[in-house]
Amino acid sequence: MNPVSYEIIDQIGVIAVNNPPVNALSFAVRSGIQAALRAAQDDASKAILIICEGGTFFAGADISEFGKPPKEPYLPDLIDEIEASGKLVVAAMHGTALGGGFEVALGCHYRIALDTARVGLPEVKLGLLPGAGGTQRVPRLVGIAAALQLILDGAPIPAIAAAEAGLVDKIVSGDLRVAALAYVQELVARNAATRRTSELNVPAADEQVFAATRIAVAKSARGQTAPLRIIESVQASLLPFAAGRKRERELFVDCMQDPQSVALQHLFFAEREAARIKDLPRDIGKRRIERVAIIGAGTMGGGIAMCFANAGFDVTLLEINADALARGLSIVEKNYAGSVQRGKLSEEDAGACRARIHGVTDYDALADVDLVIEAVFEDPQLKKGIFAKLDAVCRRGAILATNTSYQDVDAIAAATGRPEDVIGMHFFSPAHIMKLLEVVRGEKTAGDVLATVMALGKKIGKVPVMSGVCYGFIGNRMLQGYFREAQLCLIEGSTPEDIDAALYDWGMAMGPISVADLAGLDVGYKARQALAPDQRGDPRSYRVPDALVAAGRLGQKSGAGFYRYDPATRAKSADPEVMQIVEREAQALGIQRAPIDANEIVERLIFALINEGMNILDEGIAQRPGDIDVVYAYGYGFPAWRGGPMHYADTIGLNYVIERIEEFRERYGSNNWQPASLLKTLVANNSSLARWAE
């Protein structure tokens, strides 16, 4: 079916596009628009309106066509043709006019939008630049500095703000089609000019802005190539339009061929795919969730309560006594005050969200809630006791969730008489900020409970990924090998700074040693103590952490861990005392310390992560390699532009990964290094994870 229709209404040629779900500018859409545009040049219409049906104006170029041979008409050429039209062309926007979609609007002579619409150029998030004239037309309309900000940020802005900036001409409410037709009539009546943005001059700008932005981007988008190309392309808007457009095209092609863009596109689709549970029908019925209760008003519980309150849910927050509750609620208040201070929430909105959270100390208050999330200490007995109580007080059909990071969800479910209603919802700290939500499916979790929680995760602004039950689920289980290698590198010869710098420079948001200090060394210590000695991993890998805990160095919170922290600024510095402890422990183990180069450190840590990811796939704990990538990009500071650990493994080649793992096995022993059997199979078949997942 042709997604583009054309008809003349009251002398206006209306090009209407209907290409669900988001009106992406696919080949069929581009050619349909071109044919209609050409037909309109010679018919009785006096002006042309481009409008979309469904939920949104064009959300951009069709990303699923990227990487395939491009088909004419190319989007930039089509947009130039629109702009060159002898008859007036107007774009009418609703929903999200994004990327190539917004560029279509910028090529039109006038732009009208619904007051609820948002517009933007999110290409940078896909490792691209707005390659259909966006980097050339936006500076002509709003100037260099504002253009750089919009395009480098990538976040959509309200159409009303875009109108104030000069990117949109008219804002309307109600029926867009009616309003847009009236607007075009008005333009025709006043003989409005065919205003071509490409003919405008870029407002004069201080050229310093480019150098300053490059410096800022080197920090905010560390390691990424697209932002630098965006700056260059915007700079090219100072040239005559045709030359600037040519440069934009070249830089766009460079982006398209860059593995960073391939990685970011992979994550875009992986994130959407992760929301789907392979063995559940897409239209499975879901339970109604309106009232939510959280047990435990600690850092996690309070943060989770905020997530739901911010999304409009009524939240009951339960603590064991009035003092603990007051402490928890005061942290919530402090967090809201912080959000207001940082400009994330208005005073009024923060007040409204805060008012949705009601503190209680009695389980009877949970009798009618639709969902309970337990967020107390990682103590299995405590958790089981709580679930037995919930079983007694909660209404039938309520979903009972645990926020445990490690515990056996099936054992917790068995403490109730309704294991089918029990599920894991593993939030990441700080819960009101971090996007990842691991949804842990117990052996008996009902399909509708799982589907409800996955959908709910999206509703509260999280990226939900399903995990099966195992120690640490997807993310924390993989981290064990990663942290083990970090600690082994430390005791074998590196310093905390060497290890952190190696991983940070490679692209991780934070080095592993700093992460341990941030999380608290006592947390890992307690987790180890709860395990049988043979489950704790290589004893050499916790000699130093145990010694630090024994010395009262618990990490950032105690002012000292692997580093020392300034009590006022929290600035960290190297601590010779730590190196003395490291030397002492190494000596006790008979280890001759010798420096390890940065590449070796990175490979030991990242390949440990990849290898465990392979085991997780083999066991069916994760549904797909992309799910693991989403977990790591959203929850563990893995550089999104490397696509996540599993995509990265494919990029560098599984052959290389296994070769190095086998070398590590030779050198460091088979206890820590056993190539995963899936890795062996894929290498034997000359295959990749991407092919395996198809």
Interface contacts to ligand 3H9, rule CB under 6 A:
21-22, 24, 59-64, 75-76, 96, 98-100, 103, 122-123, 126, 128, 130-132, 134, 272
Residue 417: CB partners within 8 Å, gap ≥ 6?
A: 391
Burial class (CB in 10 A: 0-12, 13-18, 19+), 383: buried
Using an 8 Å Cβ cutoff, are 629 and 609 in contact?
no
Any idea how long the chain is? 694
Q: Give me the least distance between CB of 18 and ligand 3H9, in Å please.
A: 14
**What is the spatial distance between Cα 592 and Cα 492, in angstroms, rounded to a whole number?**
7
Q: Give me the least distance between CB of 108 and ligand 3H9, in Å please.
A: 16
Q: Give me the least distance between CB of 451 and ligand 3H9, in Å please.
A: 15
Of 100 and 296, which has the nearer Cβ to ligand 3H9?
100
Q: Report which of 431, 436, 409 is spatially closest to residue 420, judged by C-alpha positions.
A: 409
**What is the spatial distance between Cα 199 and Cα 166, in angstroms, rounded to a whole number?**
16
**What is the spatial distance between Cα 20 and Cα 34, in angstroms, rounded to a whole number?**
19
**What is the spatial distance between Cα 575 and Cα 189, in angstroms, rounded to a whole number?**
76
Of 29 and 350, which has the nearer Cβ to ligand 3H9?
29
Q: Give me the least distance between CB of 131 and ligand 3H9, in Å please.
A: 4
CB atoms within 10 A of CB 646: 30
Using an 8 Å Cβ cutoff, are 658 and 670 in contact?
no
**What is the spatial distance between Cα 225 and Cα 216, in angstroms, rounded to a whole number?**
14
CA angle 50, 51, 54 (to 5 degrees): 155
Please confirm, yes or no, whether 103 is among the known catalytic residues: yes
At 91 the three-state DSSP class reads strand
**What is the spatial distance between Cα 505 and Cα 158, in angstroms, rounded to a whole number?**
36
Residue 142: CB partners within 8 Å, gap ≥ 6?
A: 150, 165, 166, 167
Q: Give me the least distance between CB of 246 and ligand 3H9, in Å please.
A: 14
Q: Give me the least distance between CB of 528 and ligand 3H9, in Å please.
A: 40
Report which secondary-structure segment, H or E, holds 30: helix 27-42
The radius of gyration of the chain's CA atoms, rounded to the nearest angstrom, is 28
Residue 171: CB partners within 8 Å, gap ≥ 6?
A: 112, 113, 114, 115, 159, 160, 163
Of 248 and 612, which has the nearer Cβ to ligand 3H9?
248
Enter the tokens of residue 95.
Answer: 């929903």
CA distances for 315 relative to 437, 597, 635, angstroms: 18, 51, 24
Please confirm, yes or no, whether 577 is among the known catalytic residues: no
Q: Give me the least distance between CB of 353 and ligand 3H9, in Å please.
A: 22
Using an 8 Å Cβ cutoff, are 79 and 118 in contact?
no
Amino acid making up residue 499? I
Backbone dihedral angles phi then psi of residue 100, each to the nearest 5 degrees: -55, -25
Q: Give me the least distance between CB of 117 and ligand 3H9, in Å please.
A: 12
Of 60 and 524, which has the nearer Cβ to ligand 3H9?
60
**What is the spatial distance between Cα 488 and Cα 667, in angstroms, rounded to a whole number?**
13
The one catalytic residue among 7, 72, 83, 103:
103
Q: End-to-end distance of the chain based on CA atoms, in angstroms?
A: 28
Q: Give me the least distance between CB of 61 and ligand 3H9, in Å please.
A: 3
The one catalytic residue among 123, 271, 438, 485:
123
Tokens 């480098």 label which residue?
Answer: 152
Of 106 and 631, which has the nearer Cβ to ligand 3H9?
106
- Active-site residue list: 103, 123
